[in-house]
Amino acid sequence: MSLAATKFSVILYGMTHALNFQASRFPEFAKRLKEKNFTCQIATADKSIARYYTFNDGRVSSESGLHPKPDITISVASAKIGARLFVPWVDQLERIEAMKNYQFGADGSDELIVWFTQTMMLMQNPEVEYGIDMGDGTKRYVTNTNGGPLFVYVKDGKVIRTTPMEFTDQDAPAWTIKARGKSFTPPHKTTLSPHGVSVKSTLYSPDRLLYPMKRVDFDPKGERNPQNRGISGYERISWEEALDIVAGEITRVKTEHGQGAILGNHGSHHMWGNIGYYISAAYKFFNTIGASRVAHNPDSWEGWYWGATHHYGYSMRLGQVEFYNTIEDCMKECEMMVFWSSDPEATNGAYGGFEATIRRQWLKDLGIELVHIDPYFNHTAALLGGKWMAPKPGTDTALALAIAHVWMTEGLYDKKFVADRCVGFDVWSDYVLGKEDGVPKTPEWQQAETGVPAKEVRALARKWGKTKTYLAAGGPGNGHGGACRAANGIQFARALACLMGMQGMGKPGVNYGNLQYGGPIDIRFYFPGYAEGGMSGDIQNTGIPVSLYQRMPQLPSYGPSMQKVPRLRIPEAIMDGKAEGYPWNGFTIEGQFMKFSYPAPGHSPIKMLYKYGGASIGTMTETNRYVNMYRTDKLEFVVNQSIWFEGEAKFADVLLPACTQFERWDISDLAHAGGYGMHYQTQMNHRVIMLQHKCIEPLGESKSDIRIFTEICSRLGLGTYFCEGMNELDWVKRVFDASDLPKVISWKEFLKKGYYVVPPLEEGKRDPVAMRWFYEGRKKDVPEPSPLPGDYRKQFLMGLQTQSGKFEFECSSLKHFDANDPERPPIVRYLQSWEGPQTKELFGRFPLQLLSPHSRFSFHTFADGKQCSTNDIAEHRVLVKGYYYWVVRINAQDARARGIKHHDLVKVHNDRGAVLCAAHVTSRLGQGTAHSYSSSAVYDPLGEPGNSVDRGGCINNLTPKRSIASKVLGMAPNSCLVEVELWDGSTALGARAGTSEKVAANAAAAKEAMPS
Amino acid sequence: MKKWNLLIDVAKCFNCNNCALAVHDEYCGNSFPGYAEEMPRQGHRWIEIRQREQGEYPMVEVAYLPVTCNHCDEPSCMKGAPEGAISKRADGIVIFDPVRSKGHPELVKSCPYGMIWWNEEKQLPQTWPFDAHLLDKGWTQTRASQVCPTNAFQTLHLEDEEMQRMVRDEKLEVLHPEFGNKPRVYYKNLDSYFKSFVGGTLEGMLNGAIECIADAHIVLWKGTQKLAETVSDTYGDFRFRRLDADGASYRIEVSDPRFSSKTLEFALKKSCHLGAIALEPKAAKAA
């Protein structure tokens, strides 16, 4: 016998004893061994070495040789390979390469193979020690959320409390920025946004789905009654039955209808974590079952992506710009900050907790003057003070053009920068100055559009032109903002980009930002962001090829369906059978031009929907469409894998209860999105990488997403492929090993403590300031892997991503695409909204412009409804007669004209639907403007679903489905006309007869009654 | 001995509600024998943020006032309460005994601040117990302080003399001192919630266009008393805060070397924006 053969034989023999030995030491492992009785054969291909294992009531025995009828067989090509693969320290690359090269395989029940391989993994470390013992029977664990990280205090299997993380002397200290003779250091802790503080209340929500459910009148073998989705109730079923139905439907739909008939749809966000995230596990799953993809629109970026990108590139950031070290630059150099459609105190930079709120408290000490441009007197303006300007919704572009007009006529811009680093300025200035169309875009001209006095625009323009100014564009400061999600959001983002082009973006003190992004933490320490794909193996649709795929070798996954359905057109795709879309694509500027159609050639229409969560009705546009889509027989089967029974989860045929991140393992970097959100963690005051402990067991019968996916895949023989035979903690450990963490902390210590603080960068060693390289005409020196190497024009790292490599006031990419597109001409022009005061007929009936920005206390549908603690925040929901109503803010004079008092129940409606809200009467809005956050988690129709008044607060029932422009596919929820009236108790859609006339008469009367 | 106090800076509160949510996190689903029974899942606000919006579009101010159990040194609730139902600890904290206060809904009305909540299911009057169970275990701050992003909530463990010195030095106030309850919850910048403001916007003709008039000098008078003075900002805006909206007559005088002086009289019944105030060019000298 060769040495390898001897070695392999010994290993196989030893495995029996190792299993039994570990079971004798670890009760949990002993329990696991009792789960299955079966026989496993392990053998070389030539059967020269073979041993079979019998698992019987928790005892493992083995015999050398071949079993006549093993339940599963694991085979290796040779003893040599077996000896290398069957050792605990095996390299995963070697293992999966052996699989890919047909040297290592398994046969038999997939469920048993998964169980066996996971058990073998578990055997190496059956009961890990983790968490900090607090001495009173309480253990402190760590987890992470969309709203910040948490210390989690657990006692007797129950989460007692969750708090921000407070660091100790053992952890790296905070950074200090010295500016204007003062030193600024953030506190040595993390912060939480409201949806982070309320997360325990969502964990223990009475609306948790705790058991698999089936709609009572759904029979996969008989009557399906799709018309009753959203109406008929549910009954509890076993996991066996639920998973059999789902796997059975996957098989049936694929065989009956062919390629692409299953649609896998997930929300934009998920429980935080790199392994359990949708870009990780769900992508692998959807690829594994061969589902068609949903093509998301760049929902928070819209105008920046479709518009601003053409002026300066940054396709990788979907039109947002780089932000490196802008916090230090801003604090040292900037004199004025203009917040434009920017309310960071309400939107928290997406995942940033209140990290930047602390820093913005320093603005006063720094003497930076503030301006807020927003139709709503937002929370940032209210907290920080400064000048408030309130253009009518949808007119921001006119204001921006007038600012440019003042700069052009008074010479208040960076002429050298415009001459050296920009192209097309003459063409644009001809338009702005009116040489081209005879209409100079003066401050007086804009006043008629925006309602902002011309004198104020002149004052702002002059001040801005003479002082070093940071433009806080949108909540993050470098893009986003409600104004970019409107009919003319493309123009808005383009106009703002052009203003920064004129002022010399990158000059000291002149940049994008509001102290949200660009802190001096160390991003060169490698740890992946969630968009890097985790365990997805998806090299097409995630950021995995950049680093993680090499660092964490895994089986690749590739979806066979070439079909994509645009997310905003899923209802049309299902109901009308066709749809068209434009993609979001980070690789190049031109990627967004690649129009696609549904159905894809030769592909089946969608027949089955695998929905992950329940957010669509609250977050998409004109969302009664989604309700109606669910109620058609064109969707033969709908399964929803959801944590809570909410939103569209109530329209599924089968419900699979998923657990939260408290109930499973994961690992992550605070606020680190990666991909399009590259280096978003620079908004944190401390870079904290954390193990997300499994704090408690899953509630009820809920399971982790990965476990649900694995069990469905096992029914299709694909479980082993899906999970690579690994447990979730194994995947977590692999991410740990793939990162730079092992260089600084042991796995044991990391498991116990749960986090590591990456030391910040010292003064003088910090990242170069964003765009300074471009301002100074140097090679790009910031740590941003975009544009692609092949997308530079002359020299690598020289210039922007545009054709000229310069800032283009006149965009060559748009000239190439369609120079005559009136909605997206090569230079930015002012265009009135396709839904607003100028759309006279509609405005006559629905005279209020409704803004619906990202919500303040909840995050999309997280931490809303489901009886969680945010319900008792009166600015979030108001309790009226026992029901928590969503809030609509209405101008005091508009309210008076309609006889509406504070917290009256009102019907907000238009031709698309009607939503009941509690009125919040305010002067924080100009007359004619209303405001209600988007993203209610509750859809609660009072009559027929999709065709009646919603009292849950899904304000997106009312927003237009129309694309932001015809040659893109983006959403424009902030271009929405509505009427608001006292609710008369009716459940029907539409207004009471004569309402608008009455309102108009009352409005006139109220105006006269107002003090002058 | 050192006692517990809370200091709330009204100017730093922006209604994020982290404090209220942290209280829910601590007490909903948990009972702490001797300190507090579970808070109901919905309906109680042991810390409640009240808001006051003042002014009119386009000059608006919003102030937020977090209110909670004041842990009064002369607590109204204790007067007439059943034996042992409510106790005042030596460290200043007022505790509603979750056993002995049971079945006493009348206690809810005993708080002049309206911060006792009735737990229908448990038949208990409940208030925020200052997180005493945590402080007793060595915590140095309350959950509300810990989660407050602007440091608007500070938990102070001080000798009464030190606290009183701080009250004097930093001009701290309590809610409704006239109740005589001697609260241990102190406020900074309470004026921004209770007082009023008046503002205006100056404009005038410069080089043929109507412009915002910056750097003009504005004086506020009440009768013969000069209350305050300020200068207009880039946008011609000016504002006087911390006024009593008592309906009394006020007067502002605007002076700018480029324009004739201007005087405006008004009665201040509530915070207001006087609107655009047009300054006239200096009268040309008679020929």
At residue A724, what are phi and psi to the nearest 5 degrees? 55, 30
For the segment A748-775, the average pLDDT, to the nearest whole number, is: 97
Tokens 């694909």 sit on residue:
A718
What pLDDT was estimated at residue A90?
Answer: 84
Beta-carbon contacts of A156 under 8 Å, excluding residues fewer than 6 positions away, are A137
Q: Residues A651, A681: contact at Cβ < 8 Å?
A: no
Q: Residues A43, A77: contact at Cβ < 8 Å?
A: no
Q: Residues B4, B91: contact at Cβ < 8 Å?
A: yes
What pLDDT was estimated at residue A999?
Answer: 52
pTM of the full structure: 0.96
Q: Residue B11: which pLDDT band, with cuts at 50, 70 and 90?
A: very high
Q: Which residues of A touch B21 (CB under 8 A)?
A: 194, 197-198, 201, 869-870, 873
Tokens 């999966």 sit on residue:
A96
To the nearest whole Å, the CA of A881 is away from the closest chain B CA by 12
List chain B domain ranges: 11-152, 195-279
B147: nearest CB among A197, A204, A383:
A197
> Looking at this protein, which amino acid is placed at residue A924?
R
Of A336, A470, A473, A294, nearest to A396 (Cα)? A473
pLDDT tens track for A127-182: 999 999 999 899 999 999 999 999 999 999 999 999 999 999 999 999 999 999 99
Tokens of A66: 């071949």
pLDDT greater than 70 at residue A58: yes
Q: Residues A485, A973: contact at Cβ < 8 Å?
A: yes
Q: Which residue of B has its CA nearest to A362?
A: B150
Interface test with A, best of B19, B25, B141 (most A CBs within 10 A): B25
Whole-angstrom Cα distance, residue A333 to residue A70?
Answer: 74
pLDDT greater than 80 at residue A66: yes
Q: Which residues of A touch B29 (CB under 8 A)?
A: 158, 200, 204
Q: Residues A688, A190: contact at Cβ < 8 Å?
A: yes
Strand arrangement of the beta sheet that strand A336-340 belongs to = A387-389, A369-373, A336-340, A469-473, A511-512
Tokens 């987890």 sit on residue:
A143
Tokens 């100009």 sit on residue:
A926
A376 is catalytic: no
pLDDT tens track for B126-143: 999 999 999 999 999 999
CB contact under 8 A, A163 and B146: yes
Q: Residue A1012: which pLDDT band, with cuts at 50, 70 and 90?
A: very low
To the nearest whole Å, the CA of A904 is away from the closest chain B CA by 17
Q: What is the CATH number of domain B195-279?
A: 2.60.40.10
Q: Which residue of A has its CA nearest to B39?
A: A869
What pLDDT was estimated at residue A1010?
Answer: 35
Helix, strand, coil percentages for chain B (3-state, nearest 5): 15, 40, 45
What pLDDT was estimated at residue A1001?
Answer: 54
Whole-angstrom Cα distance, residue A692 to residue A666?
Answer: 5
For the segment A633-654, the average pLDDT, to the nearest whole number, is: 97
Active-site residue, from A71, A110, A217, A299: A299
For the segment A31-37, the average pLDDT, to the nearest whole number, is: 97
A269 is catalytic: yes
Dihedral through CA A766, CA A771, CA A773, CA A774, nearest 10?
Answer: 180
Beta-carbon contacts of B102 under 8 Å, excluding residues fewer than 6 positions away, are B122, B123, B124
pLDDT tens track for B101-130: 999 999 999 999 999 999 999 999 999 999
pLDDT greater than 60 at residue B285: no
A530 is catalytic: yes
Of B115, B255, B52, B78, nearest to A902 (Cα)? B52
Whole-angstrom Cα distance, residue B206 to residue B83?
Answer: 75
To the nearest whole Å, the CA of B25 is away from the closest chain A CA by 6
Q: Residue A986: which pLDDT band, with cuts at 50, 70 and 90?
A: confident
Whole-angstrom Cα distance, residue B44 to residue B20?
Answer: 10
Q: Residues A3, A79: contact at Cβ < 8 Å?
A: no
B17: nearest CB among A160, A162, A194:
A194
Whole-angstrom Cα distance, residue A947 to residue A227?
Answer: 13
* Helix, strand or coil, per DSSP, at residue A31: helix
A924: nearest CB among B26, B53, B212:
B53
Q: Residue A555: which pLDDT band, with cuts at 50, 70 and 90?
A: very high
Q: Residue A52: which pLDDT band, with cuts at 50, 70 and 90?
A: very high
Tokens 């039994």 sit on residue:
A20
Tokens 């054709």 sit on residue:
A803
Q: Which residue has the higher pLDDT, A252 or A1?
A: A252
Average pLDDT in chain A: 96
Whole-angstrom Cα distance, residue B84 to residue A610?
Answer: 58
**Cis before B58? omega within 30:** yes
What pLDDT was estimated at residue A336?
Answer: 98
Fold of the CATH domain B11-152: Alpha-Beta Plaits (3.30.70)
What pLDDT was estimated at residue B196?
Answer: 97
What pLDDT was estimated at residue A990?
Answer: 65
To the nearest whole Å, the CA of B20 is away from the closest chain A CA by 8
Alpha carbon separation from A483 to A487, A833, A854 (Å, rounded): 9, 11, 12
What pLDDT was estimated at residue A89?
Answer: 84
For the segment A238-245, the average pLDDT, to the nearest whole number, is: 98
Interface test with A, best of B13, B18, B61, B274 (most A CBs within 10 A): B18
A204: nearest CB among B21, B29, B149:
B29
pLDDT tens track for A189-217: 999 999 999 999 999 999 999 999 999 99
Alpha carbon separation from B137 to A1005, B93, B96, B225, B245 (Å, rounded): 63, 15, 19, 55, 47
pLDDT tens track for A902-944: 999 999 999 999 999 999 999 999 999 999 999 999 999 999 9
Tokens of A677: 């959100």
Nearest-5° Cα angle at A583, A262 to A934: 80
CB contact under 8 A, A192 and B150: no
Alpha carbon separation from A93 to A103, A553, B50, B206, B283 (Å, rounded): 13, 5, 59, 75, 89
How many C-alpha atoms does A939 have within 13 Å on its Cβ side?
Answer: 34
Q: What is the percent of chain A where pLDDT is above 70? A: 98
pLDDT greater than 80 at residue A996: no
Q: How far apart are the first and last CA of chain B?
A: 80
Tokens of B121: 């299911």
Rg (CA), chain B: 25
Q: Which residues of A touch B28 (CB under 8 A)?
A: 201, 869
For the segment A768-783, the average pLDDT, to the nearest whole number, is: 98
The DSSP element (H or E) to which A4 belongs, if any, is helix A3-25
Q: Which residues of A touch B18 (CB under 8 A)?
A: 192-194, 197, 354
Tokens 């701080």 sit on residue:
B166
Interface test with B, best of A456, A463, A685, A891 (most B CBs within 10 A): A456
Q: What is the percent of chain A where pLDDT is above 90? A: 95
Across A439-474, b (16+ Cβ under 10 Å) vs e yields ebbbbbbbbebbbbbbbbbbbbbbbbbeebbbbbbb
B42: nearest CB among A453, A857, A867:
A867
pLDDT tens track for B42-62: 999 999 999 999 999 899 999
Active-site residue, from A153, A283, A512, A530: A530
For the segment A314-334, the average pLDDT, to the nearest whole number, is: 98
Dihedral through CA A856, CA A859, CA A860, CA A865, nearest 10?
Answer: -90
Whole-angstrom Cα distance, residue A226 to residue A638?
Answer: 9
Interface test with A, best of B10, B12, B14, B16 (most A CBs within 10 A): B16
What pLDDT was estimated at residue B287?
Answer: 45
Alpha carbon separation from A283 to A152, A288, A596, A661 (Å, rounded): 29, 8, 21, 18
Exposed, middle or buried by CB within 10 Å (0-12, 13-18, 19+), for A795? exposed
A926: nearest CB among B57, B234, B237:
B57
Q: Which residues of A touch B51 (CB under 8 A)?
A: 875
Q: Residues A528, A739: contact at Cβ < 8 Å?
A: yes
pLDDT greater than 60 at residue A1009: no
